[in-house]
Chains A and B, each alone.
Chain A
Amino acid sequence: MRCLVLPAISVMAVIAFFSALTPIATAAITAKPDQVRAAFIYNLTNFVNWRDREFIQAGDCFTIQVLGNRTIARNLKLLTDNEKIWGRPFKIEYRDSPAQINNCHILYMDNSVTETISPDLIRELNESDILTIGDSSLFLEKGGIIALIEKNKRIQVVINLSAAKKTGFSFDAQLLKVARIFSPSKEQ
């Protein structure tokens, strides 16, 4: 019995010392916003219904293009590695400028890009059945469909229902329960 006490105490002391040193161990899990955003994008695909089933089944891969944020692209690559959706692998592509967008199913746009583009571009994307995801309310104001907005240290899913209806996207109840619905008049 006695021979166990000393190792037990030293193990506890080591854990106590390192847990004080480690930011993550002492509190609940914290993550980088772009990690949580990537996880959301990966997860969302299960709760979104495209107007055109054929469109999402077209091509060899399910393609997500990321505009202006290399971290998100990298995180998505790690998340989707060896994963399949509707029987097909994911393909993650990083894009520098809006001119390089082509043939994708989901387009994620960083706010640095959102600030510089006109609403026409997003409308065009929506009309070609691409699910547009951004990270700011400005993105929704410009007609984007889903925004992953950081608020009160959480990432909040905000859905622009009117834009989604126009272009024929619908969402499962499970997602709508978590999400906030964007209403242009109330936004600052």
Chain B
Amino acid sequence: MTTGNAPMSALLFSLLLSIVLVADFPGSGLAITKDATLLYLKNLSIQQLASIEVTSVSKTEEKLSDADAAVYVITSEDIRRSGMTSIPEILRMVPGLQVSRIDGNNWAISARGFNAWFADKLLVLVDGRSVYTPLFSGVFWNIQDTLLDDIDRIEVIRGPGATLWGANAVNGVINIITKKAKKTKGGLLKGGGGNIEQGFGAVRYGGKIGTRGYYRAYAKYFNRGAFETKEGRSADDQWHMGRAGFRLDFDLSKESSLTLEGGICDGQTHDRLSPNYLLQVEQPHFQKLTTDYTGGDLLGRWTHRSGSGSSTTFKWYVDRTDWNSNYIKETRDTLDLDFQHSFKVFSRNSIVWGLEYRMYHDNIPRTSYFDFDPKSRINNMFSGFFQDQITIIPEKLDFTIGTKLEHNDFSGFEIQPSGRFRFKPTANQTLWAAISRAVRTPSRADHDMNVLVGSFRTGPVTNVLLYKGNDHFDSEEVVAYEAGYRVVPKKRFSLDISAFYNVYWGLRGLAPSSKASKANFTLPGRTRVIALVLKNQFHENSYGVEVAGTVQLARWWKTSLNYSWLKLRLHTSQQMVGQELDEGNVPENQFSIRSYMDLPWNLQFDTLFFYVDSLRDMNIPSYTRLDIRLGWNPAKDVSVDLKLQNLLDDRHPEYINVGPLVSSQVPRSVYGKVTWKF
């Protein structure tokens, strides 16, 4: 066969192949087509072989299909095609996660239940930097952001990940991983706006430093308008935020590399505070709350991979967050040092071990509502972990066992072991099962908080409700039993099923305090303080099933389907006061469909559909949400996006906050965006 004939024969061959494929499309004919491709390749010259296009599964996806845990990966493609503009909204795509908007700038996000404003059982890391705050235990989702184009992937692990990732990974871990600077060379400029996204813009530039280094730097800003009240009026929860950051990657040698990255942010959010939570007996009106956020972080990582298959990582970071409002103020500094080493022994043992030290320094000035005792604290956390993956039958059966030992100032030593096994009956199927224990360590608030949460009048006396922390508050713990099955029978189809049964002990609740105390608050004369103290009180079970599937309907049309089912059972005989663990606070059923279509004329038409079941105890009805994105590439480096969100209703509520924030409703919205790469 000569080179000149190649295109023609390729065309003929592809036609032939398409007939073969079509003829046995639902059957097991893949082997035939595979072999047909090989036979075709066999007759090519070396030059022709060099020009054959190959398609391969990426490293992460390969690992994903092998993972012995309930892992879901959001790729940069998913992020781009979702048209979502913030990290918390992107997480809606993950099966088994509950993502609810409380108001314009606050989210309640959790895995496998226990969702709240500060959902405390989900650990979140950005390039290995923990953004889980030990103040209330939880994540300030409104300050977790970066240039979304620079995110390589978001890995979400449902179920305990404490053995590897540390405390508070009780129900899951979210790893947000940014691209290497090498992958973001050149410039990017984008901007747009709409009714809620009132104006946003970003700029990024990256390039090479010398022969071995790469850099990028970015800045972005957005201004988001208010959501709506039940009646359709403005909920006054608008916000704006600016952010800038950089990343440097150096290859020190063939085996070792160095990364330095950092960022700063500054912004302001607006919310409404409920009069029930304020000391306003006389004037039961919403009060407007303005919060100023600033933050900065710097992270360094050195990685060495040696020829013998071992690798060593040393990582450090510093982080400062500061939020300031009339309601609560906090400044927090974090220092973290982390070392990890992995190696193989006797070819059948893959061992990973590590050591970590973290220090927090905070300062929480007294406000009319919050009084922390002491006002400022330095907390230390030490931990070490060890994990061994033992291969029993190569590429078929292995067993992983490990534990983390951690010491914190509040609850002392914590042991978080896990055991997992994985069986691969064939190359494209994985069966796994795991048992693990994890803890949610006490937060600063659990220990030291005094907060006034409301007042009511009886006769001439004003009664004030006070929530108190507890020096004896211990860790909440879970033992989780999980199992899963994953199959990728054909390139066009994949299915991932996982099921879990979790048992929790010592969950946080409130109990009447025997000691009368008004902390350090100055209260008017005829005031009676009713104090409630935090205690490890509840025992709870949860169980559920999560299913994720993808179907490539055609070369130009890809769909993903997710479904999750979740049940919680609370066991307690005690009187419950103000507890937030109601069984009816989670959507029992959730369902989503994503569709990506590549159309002619460089057009893309993408659809997202979500169904979220009702939250019974909050009186939130079930809702459906439909988003549409139309993308167009008029030139190679230019893309234009039109995104319509929430098309099915004028507005709907997603969450009623148990706490001072007044929830608002999510309205229909639209925005347009232009991106230019140079």
B86 to chain A, nearest CB (A): 33
- The answer to the question of B574 belonging to the interface, with a C-beta cut-off of 8 Å to chain A, is no
CA distance in complex: A35, B38 (Å): 6
Instruction: Please tell me if the beta carbons of B344 and A31 are within 8 angstroms of each other in the complex.
Output: no
Q: Which of A9-53 contact B (CB under 8 A)?
A: 18-33, 35-36, 38-40, 42-44, 47
Q: Are A30 and B18 in contact (CB-based, < 8 A)?
A: no
Closest to B310 in A: A116
Residue A2 at the B interface, CB < 8 A? no
Choose among B50, B307, B555 the residue that contacts A20 (Cβ–Cβ < 8 A).
Answer: B555
A133-B177 Cα distance, complex, nearest whole Å:
33
Query: Residues of A contacting B212 with CB < 8 Å?
Result: 188
Given A30-B54, A75-B38, A141-B254, A20-B556 contact (CB < 8 Å): yes
| With A96-B394, A118-B308 as contacts: A26 and B46 at CB distance below 8 Å | no
Could you tell me if A42 and B42 are in contact, using CB atoms closer than 8 angstroms? yes
Q: Would B14 and A24 count as touching, CB distance under 8 A?
A: yes
Does B555 lie within 8 Å of A32, measured CB to CB? no
The reply to whether A154 and B54 contact each other, CB–CB distance below 8 Å, is yes
Q: Is A166 an interface residue (CB 8 A)?
A: no
By a CB distance below 8 angstroms, the chain A residues around B307 are 115, 117-119, 142
Contact for A157 among B50, B52, B344, CB less than 8 A? B50
CB contacts (< 8 Å) of B305 on chain A: these are 115
Q: Does A97 have its Cβ within 8 Å of any Cβ on chain B?
A: yes
Q: Verify if B658 is at the interface (C-beta below 8 Å from A).
A: no
* A155–B46 CB distance below 8 A: no
Q: Judge whether B413 is part of the interface by a CB distance below 8 angstroms.
A: no
* B555 in contact with A22 (CB, 8 Å): yes
- In the complex, the chain A residue whose C-beta lies closest to that of B307 is A118
**When A25-B14, A29-B40, A36-B41 are in contact, do A115 and B51 touch as well, CB less than 8 Å?**
no
Q: Is the CB of A40 within 8 A of B21?
A: no
Cβ of A156 within 8 Å of any chain B Cβ, yes or no, is yes
In the complex where A23-B555, A156-B50 touch, is A39 in contact with B42 (Cβ < 8 A)?
yes
Q: In the assembly, what is the distance between CA of A178 and CA of B41, in Å? A: 16
- Contact string against B for A residues 135-172, beta-carbon threshold 8 Å, 1 for contact and 0 otherwise: 00000011000000010011111000000000000000
Interface pair B554/A29, CB less than 8 Å apart: no
B10 touches A79 (CB 8 A): no
Interface of A is mostly: helix
Q: Is A78 among interface residues, defined by CB-CB distance under 8 A? A: yes
B498 to chain A, nearest CB (A): 26
Is the CB–CB distance between B50 and A38 below 8 Å? no
Q: Decide if B44 is an interface residue (CB 8 Å cutoff).
A: yes
Check B17 against A18 for contact (C-beta < 8 Å). Answer: no
What residue in chain A is nearest B33 (Cβ atoms)? A24
B49 interface hit (Cβ, 8 Å): yes
Chain B residues near A85: list those with CB within 8 A. none
Chain B residues with Cβ under 8 A from A150's Cβ?
Answer: 54, 56
Chain B residues in 8 Å Cβ range of A154:
50-54
Tell me the complex Cα distance, A119–B13, Å. Answer: 42
- B555, closest chain A residue (CB): A23
CA distance A188 to B42 in the complex (A): 32
| Chain A residues with a Cβ closer than 8 Å to the other chain, count | 50
Contacts of B576 in A (CB 8 A): none
In the bound assembly, the distance between CA atoms of A115 and B305 in angstroms comes to 9
Q: B339-383 CB contact bits vs A (8 Å, 1 = yes)?
A: 000001001000000000000000000000000000000000000
Contact between B46 and A35 (Cβ–Cβ < 8 Å)? Answer: no
Given A25-B15, A97-B347, the answer on whether A33 and B54 have CB atoms closer than 8 Å is yes
Question: Could you give, for residues 112-130 of chain A, a 1 whenever the CB lies within 8 Å of some chain B CB and a 0 otherwise?
Answer: 0001111100000000000
Residue among A31, A47, A96 with the highest chain B CB neighbour number at 10 A: A31
Chain B residues with CB under 8 Å of A96's CB are: 394
Distance in angstroms between the alpha carbons of A150 and B215 in the assembled complex = 25
Chain A residues in 8 Å Cβ range of B19: 18
Closest to B257 in A: A188
With beta carbons under 8 angstroms apart, the residue of B34, B347, B552, B553 that contacts A35 is B34
Is residue B35 within 8 Å, beta carbon to beta carbon, of the partner chain?
Answer: yes
Contact A188 B251 (CB under 8 A): yes
With a CB–CB cut-off of 8 A, which chain B residues contact A175? 46
Contact A36 B52 (CB under 8 A): yes
In the complex, the answer to whether B254 meets A32 with C-beta atoms within 8 Å is no
- B308 touching A116 by the CB < 8 A rule? yes
Judge whether A21 and B14 touch: CB under 8 Å: no
Q: In the complex, A70→B555 CA distance in Å? A: 28
CA distance A29 to B212 in the complex (A): 36
On whether A36 and B17 interact (CB within 8 A), knowing A18-B22, A141-B254, A142-B307, the answer reads: no
Complex-state Cα separation, A174 to B427, whole angstroms: 37
Instruction: Give the CA-CA distance A129 to B189 in the complex, in Å.
Output: 55
Contacts of A118 in B (CB 8 A): 307-308
Set A25, A78, A97, A174: member contacting B17, Cβ < 8 A: A25
A29 touches B13 (CB 8 A): yes
Contacts of A26 in B (CB 8 A): 555
Contacts of B42 in A (CB 8 A): 39, 42, 79
Chain B 570-610 interface residues, beta-carbon cutoff 8 Å to A = none
**Are A39 and B251 CB-contacts (below 8 A) given A33-B56, A116-B308?**
no
Residues of A within 8 A of B427 (CB): 70
Most chain A beta carbons < 10 A, residue from B10, B42, B347, B556:
B42
Are A29 and B254 interface neighbours, CB within 8 A?
A: no
Chain B positions within 8 Å of A178 at CB level? 46-47, 50
Which of B18, B39, B41, B52 contacts A25 (CB under 8 A)? Answer: B18
Establish whether residues A174 and B46, one from each chain, have CB atoms under 8 Å apart when the complex forms: yes
Contact of B49 among A30, A36, A119, A188 (CB under 8 A): A36
Closest Cβ–Cβ distance, residue B395 to chain A (whole Å): 8
User: For A40, what are the chain B residues with a Cβ–Cβ distance below 8 Å?
Assistant: 46, 49
- Contacting pair B55 A32 (CB below 8 A): yes
Q: A28-B10, A29-B53, A44-B46 are in contact. List 12 more A-B contacts (CB 8 A).
A: A19-B18, A20-B555, A22-B22, A35-B38, A36-B41, A43-B44, A43-B46, A97-B347, A141-B254, A150-B54, A153-B53, A157-B50
A residues contacting B by CB (< 8 A) are 18-33, 35-36, 38-40, 42-44, 47, 70, 75, 78-79, 96-97, 115-119, 141-142, 150, 153-157, 174-175, 177-178, 187-188
- 6 A-B Cβ contacts within 8 A? A33-B54, A75-B38, A79-B41, A116-B309, A117-B307, A178-B50
Residues of B within 8 A of A (CB): 7, 10, 13-15, 17-19, 21-22, 25, 34-35, 37-42, 44-47, 49-56, 212, 251, 254, 305, 307-309, 344, 347, 394, 427, 552-556
Pick the 9 closest A-B CB pairs, nearest first. A25-B18, A116-B309, A39-B41, A22-B18, A23-B555, A33-B54, A30-B53, A18-B22, A33-B56
